[in-house]
A and B are shown apart, each in its own frame.
Chain A
Amino acid sequence: MKYVIIGNSIASAGCIEGIRRVDSEGEILLVSNEPYHMYSRPLISYWLSKKVEDISYRPKDYYEKYRVNPILGKKVVQVDFESKEVILEDGEKINYDKLLIATGGKPFIPNISGLDKKNVFTFIKFDDVKEIDKVLFDGARVTVVGAGLSGLKAVEALIKRNCNVTVVELAGRVLSSILDEEGSRMVQERFEEEGVRFLLENSVSEILGEEKVEKISLKSSDILKTDMVIFAIGVVPNVDIFRGTQLKINRGILVNERMETSIPDVYSAGDVVESLDLLTNENRVIPILPNAYMQGEVAGLNMAGREVRYSGSFPMNSIGFFDMHIMSAGIVNPSSNVEIIKRIEPEKKVYRKLYIRDGKILGFMFINSIDRTGMIVDLMKNKIDISSFKERLLSDNFGFLDLPKEFRKEKILGV
């Protein structure tokens, strides 16, 4: 059996580890257009802030240990699904028995003029932060476009590197995908304390300058002097080489519960696929790291012949900025018909809010009160009726003693 994996990140690790739980013999070949040992993309902001030097996701002997043959720094230009061949940029053809497409996401960049100027960056890959690091200097004026998770992680790193940061965001608030308005405001205030300036409901219409970026013009008609621009608006599935082939793609690649695509022996996982959102019962791209690993693992197990199904997921995030920590999951901006319970302690910057419907948790957001949150995610996942103890969900000390005894015993003793 010959397995070929396109991509070298989290979903690929899940796949390799899934395959090797079942099949220790088969050949695994991995291709990536990046020249690096398997690393973790969320760590690039930590690298930029100099909190970590080593961003590898698995130990240096990983490929050897799992008997993976890596081809790094080469781009896949095409997959011939008929002849079951992966074609590289240098013309090399690699045949496969089972293929995993784990090409991840690519940055979304608006179509504006001046993108070709120097010092315009994206914020996804290791190369992005290496390039930023080369031109960064104390007091640099940096414009970050996008106040989402990766945009604000970039801002945090830049503040730690003594930059003057301005954030341009199309929405009226920060982190709008993981927080409600109240939560967004708390986070924005924390950044403002660090000297960050926010230009909300605004966007970049043009990048100006001779060779390098010198100024940007905004939708609001204002002109802003800046030394660098970093686009961190979001990611879209990286499916370019598969458009126009028989591979079924909506926004992302479509897969079944075994992470199989519409083409036999071709699997896909991670930020490039659409999968089941357990809360809305719809397929969509949920580009979060745990999903990528779990989908990759399910793909790998199935590729190696063990029938396993991916049960679906929902968005969830744990993210920290400076001394503030946020956890959020599920639906955070519900339309109607929901019960809201919340606790706010402004002086401690603590915020805890949950959305409940029919006795079940639909979503929550917690700021600076995050211990044991996994228990609440578990109640959501298993659709447990929380009516009898719902007020306790607002407590910092929520625990097993708040759960019905039978449930608690089954949970703790039954595993």
Chain B
Amino acid sequence: MLERGYKMEIKSKKRIYPKEEVCIGCHLCEIYCILAHSGTKDLIKAFKRIDKPSPRVLVEEKEGYYITFALQCRHCDDPLCIKACITGAMHRDEKTGYIICDEEKCVGCWSCILVCPYGAIRRGENGRAVSKCDLCIEQGNPVCVENCPNEALELKDLEDLK
């Protein structure tokens, strides 16, 4: 129950920023992301799973260009995905302020994909529910940031930026 005097104005305190100048396009962020969301710690098992999770981070690269960068959910202050969600699956975690999709509740209507201005939400494995960055809410720290070999991903504390 909402305490009197407590206003429901919750925002994410963290966001990951990509640095395209130093990204080498190795896709390790995607691999670690898949592993972290696969329910196993074994990379081979994770990749052999038929319904292996889609990465929640997307490495953009384009033929003929020598730039790449990785992008995850921005955990927006004013998230359109939550407003467009037809089931209520997309919600803000009250403790962390992260935007999380309840994959059990999601029916895969992809309304969030229609409105996310960053293209950061993907259709998940088996096409049923969406797959999006949860800032590794269960692991503690985002594995994509921790395992980026060239420090092309940076987790910033948004309160420090202000």
Contacts and interface: CB of A to CB of B under 8 A. Distances in A.
Nearest to A67: B2
Interface stretch (A156-164, A212-220, A287-295): A287-295
Contacts of A289: 84, 86, 111
Interface residues of A, number: 54
Contact of B122 (A64, A293, A371, A375): A371
Contacts of B119: 371-375, 399-400
A24 B2 CA distance: 8
Contacts of A61: 1
A46 B89 CA distance: 15
A297 B83 contact: yes
Contacts of B7: 20-24
Nearest to B77: A415
A64 B1 CA distance: 6
A317 B111 CA distance: 7
B2 A66 contact: yes
A293 B84 CA distance: 8
B126 to A, nearest CB: 12
B140 to A, nearest CB: 24
Given A371-B113, A372-B113, A401-B65, A412 B118 contact: yes
Interface residues of B, number: 45
Interface stretch (A51-59, A96-104, A241-249): A51-59
A415 B11 CA distance: 13
A399 B86 contact: no
Nearest to B58: A399
Interface string B124-150: 000000000000000000000000000
A17 interface: yes
A20 B8 contact: yes
A413 B88 CA distance: 28
B83 A294 contact: yes
A52 B107 contact: yes
Interface in A1-55: 14, 17, 20-25, 40, 42-43, 46, 51-52, 54
Interface of B: 1-9, 15, 17-18, 58, 60-62, 65, 67, 69, 71, 74, 76, 80, 83-84, 86-88, 105, 107-119, 121-123
14 contacts: A24-B7, A25-B5, A40-B88, A290-B80, A294-B83, A325-B110, A372-B119, A373-B113, A374-B114, A399-B60, A400-B71, A401-B61, A401-B65, A412-B118
